[in-house]
Every structure is written in C-alpha cells, then in structure tokens.
Amino acid sequence: MSKHDDEVSLRDMLSHANEAAELLGAASREELGRDRVMQLALTRLVEIVGEAANRISAATQQKHPGIPWAQIIGMRNRLVHGYDVIDLDLLWDTIRGDLPPLIAALEAIVKEA
C-alpha cells in the first residue's frame, strides 16, 4: 500500500475508534446490555477499526510497534466471524480500556503524517 493509503486507513481507524468511544459515552455495561441498537453500532465501529488496521502496510505497522495490530485485527475477525456469539463484556472492555490509548497513539501518528 502507498503511504497515502496508510494515512487514509489510519484516519479511518481514528475516526471510528473515536465514534465508538463517544457513542458508548457514560453508558453503563448494563445499559449496553439492554440497548440492541448500541450493541450493533459499537460492534460495527470496532469491526471497521480492525478492518482499517488490516489495510495498513507491514512497513507502517513495523514503524509503530506500540499499536497492537494483531490484536486489533483479531478483534475484528472475532466480531465478524463470531457474530452470533458477541461477548458484550469483551466489547465493553475493548471500548473502555483499549480504545482510549489507541486513540491517543493514532492521534500522534496522524499528526506526524
């Protein structure tokens, strides 16, 4: 992939990660469990973050070893292929715990570009 394509994918990762964090907002885990539309939206947003990560070239991935590329892509695969058994605790933990540091890292990378 070209540098431009990587930049587009990095921006896609950032925008969709931000959207997932904003959508979840201050909602509790119990609220997530009761809101099917939120579950579907958050699942899709996290899938897109993983799909965009999968499009990042190996060279760019190696340049940013602090990003857990394999785990992000693995989460996407788990959500897409295990659509019938989405673990809402894992989705919750990902958005609450993993997305904020990912967003910060992506903001720094995008700012560099």
Q: Which residues are the active-site residues?
A: 76, 81
**Nearest in space to 47 (alpha carbons), one of 16, 26, 25, 4:** 16
Map tokens 């903001």 to a residue: 107
For 56: left if phi > 0, alpha if psi spans -120 to 50, otherwise beta; the answer is beta
Could you count the other beta carbons within 10 Å of the beta carbon of residue 60? 20
What is the distance between the alpha carbons of residues 23 and 53, in angstroms, rounded to a whole number?
20
- Check if the beta carbon of residue 32 is closer than 8 Å to that of residue 88: yes
